[in-house]
Structure 1
Amino acid sequence: MRLPPALRHRDFRLFTIGYLPSETGEYIHFIVQNWLVWELTQSAFYLGLIGFFEFAPRFIFGPIGGVIADRMDRHRLVTLSCVFNLIQSLVFAFLVFSGWLQFWHIVGLVIFMAIVSSVRTAAQQVMVVSLVPQESVVSALALHSATHNLTKVVGPSIGGVLLTFIGAGYCLIIHALTQVFMLVALFLMRAPAAASGSAAKGNWLRDIAEGVAYFRQNRRIWFTILTTYSNGFFGISYAQFLPYFAQEVLRAGPSGYGLLVSAPGVGAVLISFFLSTHGRLTGMRRLLFGASMIYAASIFFFALSPFMVLSLFLLTVIGAMQMSYRVLARAIIQEECPPHLLGRAMSLFFIDRGFGSLGALCLGAAAALVPVPIAVAGSAVGCGLFALIVPRRSTSEKTVL
């Protein structure tokens, strides 16, 4: 059996080996963070608020991170972000062990890492595709997403069990230790310079404006990004309320919560391995539309499900469709975007998580007026409507190539 195209390249293999435990630790951290928020506040609104603080800084720092990724050594940027991740988790663990932890501490730590992640995300995504030749890009994107979503299965499951048996503080120590694996992998790469930015130095705001102007003119890129934004605002925010569904709807504890967070990763991993065997796909815009519609429908039915097994199945479908539309969107952007603008393109793409945080805040506010399941179901309807509207707008506009 032949390896997928991307895995035939040494530096990509090293990156993947380091990323697997590092990102697993990220999901352990995510489980602990949200569970601590729920324990401290017992409030769906505060769950939405912490989701807002987790991703809202991407609106401001995301485009700046894209410019930094286009200008600076991406290998060094990813390395520094891992170090900051490690430090943040140790500080978080100290606050837990000392008994001093309050909600505003979590807010501060979350905002700090959101700023760091704005730079890391753009640098890391461009670095991934720079480790393979052009003909292996779809394979690399799919495998990277598969690895990410495998950690989304393993991390929350492990996190839920560890949270039950060893407590939040030790879980955070484990997260800090997992960052060492990525640091070692980055150190062992033979050609870090291949993943360095090369954009000319100039005015940062002008660089951001240049990127946005180009993407507005290229309708394939612009409407692809808008699709991810609408899916982010109306769709991704459901995940912030999984502690509520675990505790109040499905009557499960931390381990059940871990299963709910893991389920989307199962679907994402399965679809990722399918996509990773393809160097290139045809009809990507039609596939993007179909994945977005199924994604919205699955969130709607999950919100109304009172059964654990059905909820896990629907979350699996949600994960598969979310991974599909994100890989397809990134492949379209990669195909259309010139290399010197790719960092800025990726930073704009990943602002969809910022829209997810805004959606989580709105859902949290709505939960004060209506039950959380009704709010999530209504958001899913919005997701489906925008998935219908955006393709119609894109086909009504002339594409600039």
Structure 2
Amino acid sequence: MPDAEDDQPVGSHLKPSFSNLFGLFALPHVGLFYGGRTLAAIGVWMEQLATGWLVWEMTGSATWLGVITFLRLAPSIILGPIGGVLADRMWPLDLMRLCKVAVVSGFFLLTLLLALDLLTIWSLGVLIAFIGSAQSLANPANKAFVWHLVPKHWLPVAIPVGSITFNLAAFVGPAAAGALIAWQGVLTAYVVTLCLQAVFLAVLLRLKLPPNGEDNHRIADAGQIGLSRSLVDGARYIAHDASVRAVLVLHLLFAVCARPLIPLMPAIAVVLFGGGPQTVGLLTACIGAGAIVGGLWLASRSRVEGMAQLLLLFMIVLMTLVIALALVRWTPAGFVILFAIGACMIVRASGTQTLLQFAVDNQMRGRVMGYYGLFLKGGSAVGALLVGALADLTTLPTALMTAAVLGGAGLVAMSRSFLAAGRKVEALE
């Protein structure tokens, strides 16, 4: 357990090397957990593409794509922080198990209604909101769990590898979903998604990693505080900790201005490149492929030093690439740009989580990760809704470029304060 590893060297004492990737998977439980989570993530990406294409077929509206994305992500505005409180009040693995049961149930009902030809845009929205609610409750526990899964000095490797597995799924899932939809229809993609989610539930139930004495003591202490007080304490902690606050504000900026690119991919494929579901899958898979390459590089780096500067640089490049994507109409160029966007996204995501894991106090870990999920999903929900609506009012390229320009301006405005906060976090390594 990490708390028992304080006498071990921390991240800077792991020499930069690709061999650290193999060393990580030699640790107990890591292979089983990441393997199951990768399968579930493939299902997540398949479902997102299938749902996006289904919505586009039903409505032909970028606004509806934004609405369904909002319904998927908006529950995190309330339930993300609550999930963070629960992750501090109970063993994260137990919370993940309960939420995964709800996710599997939601996918089963969605698949059944579609098979019976009873699914409407409204019932789809309700089920997506239910699934999103369960995922919002589980996300803080999922992110906090890595602290308990590996020793502290392995975190700069484990966090990027976790992102690699998710983005490996982003490479496989959309391509598979696009092919399945073109070959057999949306229903087949949903059936496969349901099976993959069920496999991860079985993995979570099999995983044997009980809390240690310190964890039990922390959980017991957290249980003595009311839910509302816990939420307020978490918010106050973020507000008063300059390092945590700066990282989360930059995280929110990305969520609102750049993250909507992914749920709007069906519209991008049709409007910018004149494609269909297979084009959607290939475009999204390019993001995943770029993320795999970027994640492998970041994991081999194996240290926190310089992470803040790296994160800021890659975010500036990311906003520039979104503008470039809005301007191109040649599909191969779109593939290359989205590959680079994927590499930037994984450095941003892994860098943000790494800085937070080292900055946050252990008793606040779940709550901070809850607000991390709130900022990501809530910000993405609002961003997708606004960018989708602006696309229908003007044009899709105009909407994408407007969001990216605003995001770039925000990065420049807060760069000095973020770098100062980053240096403080790096000193804790």
Shifted more, 33-42 versus 189-198: the winner is 189-198
1:268 aligns with 2:314: no
Unaligned runs of 5+ in 2: 1-17
- Aligned equivalents of 2:183 and 2:211: distance in 1? 43
1:347 aligned counterpart, secondary structure: helix
Q: Give the corresponding residue for 1:162.
A: 180
- Aligned equivalents of 2:19 and 2:398: distance in 1? 47
Q: Give the corresponding residue for 1:65.
A: 83
CA drift at 1:394: 4.3
Q: Give the corresponding residue for 1:284.
A: 307
Q: Map 1:162-311; keep pairs closer than 5 Å.
A: 162-193=180-211, 198=219, 199-201=221-223, 202-311=225-334
Q: Contact between 1:12 and 1:128, CA under 8 Å: does it hold in 2?
A: no
- Aligned equivalents of 1:324 and 1:271: distance in 2? 6
Q: Give the corresponding residue for 1:332.
A: 355
- Aligned equivalents of 2:38 and 2:419: distance in 1? 39
1:380 aligns with 2:380: no
- Aligned equivalents of 1:392 and 1:31: distance in 2? 38
1:358 aligns with 2:382: yes
- Aligned equivalents of 2:132 and 2:356: distance in 1? 24
User: Which of residues 335, 341, 355 is equivalent to 2:364?
Assistant: 341
Amino-acid identity (%):
26
Q: CA 1:192 to 1:35, structure 2 compared with 1: closer, same or farther past 3 Å?
A: farther
Q: Give the corresponding residue for 1:6.
A: 24
1:145 aligned counterpart, secondary structure: helix
CA drift at 1:193: 2.9
Shifted more, 75-84 versus 291-300: the winner is 75-84
What amino acid is aligned across from residue 162 of structure 1 in structure 2?
A: L
Deviations along 1:298-318, one digit per CA (max 9) or x if unpaired, are 111111110111111111111
Q: Give the corresponding residue for 1:20.
A: 38
- Aligned equivalents of 1:291 and 1:186: distance in 2? 34
CA drift at 1:73: 2.1
Q: Give the corresponding residue for 2:113.
A: 95
1:369 aligns with 2:387: no
- Aligned equivalents of 1:370 and 1:190: distance in 2? 53
- Aligned equivalents of 1:129 and 1:320: distance in 2? 24
Q: Contact between 2:323 and 2:401, CA under 8 Å: does it hold in 1?
A: yes
- Aligned equivalents of 2:232 and 2:372: distance in 1? 15
Q: Contact between 2:271 and 2:396, CA under 8 Å: does it hold in 1?
A: no
Give the TM-score taking structure 2 as reference length: 0.89
1:282 aligned counterpart, secondary structure: coil
- Aligned equivalents of 1:328 and 1:2: distance in 2? 20
Number of equivalent positions: 401
Give the TM-score taking structure 1 as reference length: 0.95
Shifted more, 135-144 versus 180-189: the winner is 180-189
What amino acid is aligned across from residue 240 of structure 2 in structure 1?
A: Q
What amino acid is aligned across from residue 214 of structure 1 in structure 2?
A: Y
Q: Contact between 1:18 and 1:181, CA under 8 Å: does it hold in 2?
A: yes
Shifted more, 334-343 versus 91-100: the winner is 91-100
CA drift at 1:277: 2.2
CA drift at 1:119: 1.2
- Aligned equivalents of 1:329 and 1:265: distance in 2? 18
CA drift at 1:170: 2.1
Unaligned runs of 5+ in 1: none
Q: CA 1:96 to 1:2, structure 2 compared with 1: closer, same or farther past 3 Å?
A: same
1:109 aligns with 2:133: no
Q: Contact between 1:223 and 1:391, CA under 8 Å: does it hold in 2?
A: no
CA drift at 1:3: 4.8
Q: Give the corresponding residue for 2:149.
A: 131
Deviations along 1:329-377, one digit per CA (max 9) or x if unpaired, are 1111111111110011111112222101101111122123211111111
- Aligned equivalents of 1:135 and 1:231: distance in 2? 28
User: Which of residues 58, 66, 74 is equivalent to 1:40?
Assistant: 58
- Aligned equivalents of 1:262 and 1:24: distance in 2? 11
- Aligned equivalents of 1:222 and 1:86: distance in 2? 34
- Aligned equivalents of 1:153 and 1:343: distance in 2? 29
Q: CA 1:89 to 1:361, structure 2 compared with 1: closer, same or farther past 3 Å?
A: same
- Aligned equivalents of 1:302 and 1:375: distance in 2? 12
Shifted more, 138-147 versus 273-282: the winner is 273-282
- Aligned equivalents of 2:263 and 2:71: distance in 1? 12
Q: Contact between 1:19 and 1:181, CA under 8 Å: does it hold in 2?
A: no
Shifted more, 385-394 versus 262-271: the winner is 385-394
What amino acid is aligned across from residue 125 of structure 2 in structure 1?
A: V
Shifted more, 279-288 versus 260-269: the winner is 279-288
- Aligned equivalents of 1:395 and 1:262: distance in 2? 32
